[in-house]
Each structure stands twice: as structure tokens, then as C-alpha cells.
Amino acid sequence: MPKEYPRSRRIAEQIQRELAEIARDELDDPRVGPVTVSEVQVSRDLRHAVVYVSVLGADAERVASSVDVLNRARGFLRTQLARRMRSKRVPDLRFVHDTAFDRGARLSELIDEVGDRRRDGEE
């Protein structure tokens, strides 16, 4: 079992909070919809961070576009992050679409369908 690294976890949580605020308040690009920063994973050496995001109410094309815009704006986002954090090093950022919300919504739909069928007498 790998050893847990509390410092990298604390930094990941701080990055998640700060990026959520930056995306909401300072990222002024109409191509990026309402973005949720769902998770951040920071490497042990704190040089790299993978930022998992989901775009609320968007189709696959819009999600891909939003993630692309975020990746293109990572220099700006990293600079804003550096201003807010008290750390010698701010990791390089890489944005990735988090499919967990999509899978959860699909499972919820399937559960609702089964419930509706049972109420209607279909089994």
C-alpha cells in the first residue's frame, strides 16, 4: 500500500478551492461554461497537477471545448494561483474532463426508469 502524502493532499485541496474561485470570478471567456473543479491530484514532487473538471449542462462538444480553453489558459490560471498561494512552487496544470458526474446522472436516470416501470406494473 503506497504511503499517503498529506502535504500534497493539502496543496491539492487548496488548488481546488482557489481554481474554483478563479474560474468563477476571473476567467472571462464565453467558451467556458459553468465549470466545477471536482478534484485535483498533485504529484509527490508538487511539480504537476491534474485538475478534473465538469461543465454543467453541456454536451460532449462543449465540454471538450471548455477543457481545451482551460488548458490554453493554464498560464494565466497558474499565475493567478501563484498570487493566492503561499508556496514556493505552483504546479503545472493539466485540465481533464471528469466523467463521474456524467456517470452518476446516467445511473440516476436508469434507477428512475426502473422505478417508473415497477410503478406502472412492468417488470
Its sign, for the CA torsion 93, 18, 33, 57, is positive
- pLDDT above 90 covers a percentage of the chain that reads 42
Q: What is the pLDDT of residues 49-99, one digit of tens each?
A: 999 998 877 778 888 898 999 999 999 999 999 999 988 889 999 999 988
**All domains of the chain in start order, with CATH:** 6-98 (3.30.300.20)
Cα gap 42→4, rounded to integer Å: 12
b/e map of 94-105 (b: 16 or more CB within 10 Å)?
ebebbeebeeee
pLDDT at 55: 84
| Nearest residue to 87 (alpha-carbon basis) of 8, 4, 5, 3 | 8
Identity of residue 64: A
Report the mean per-residue pLDDT for the chain. 85
**Confidence (pTM):** 0.78
Assigned C-alpha cell, 12: 491539492
DSSP 122: -
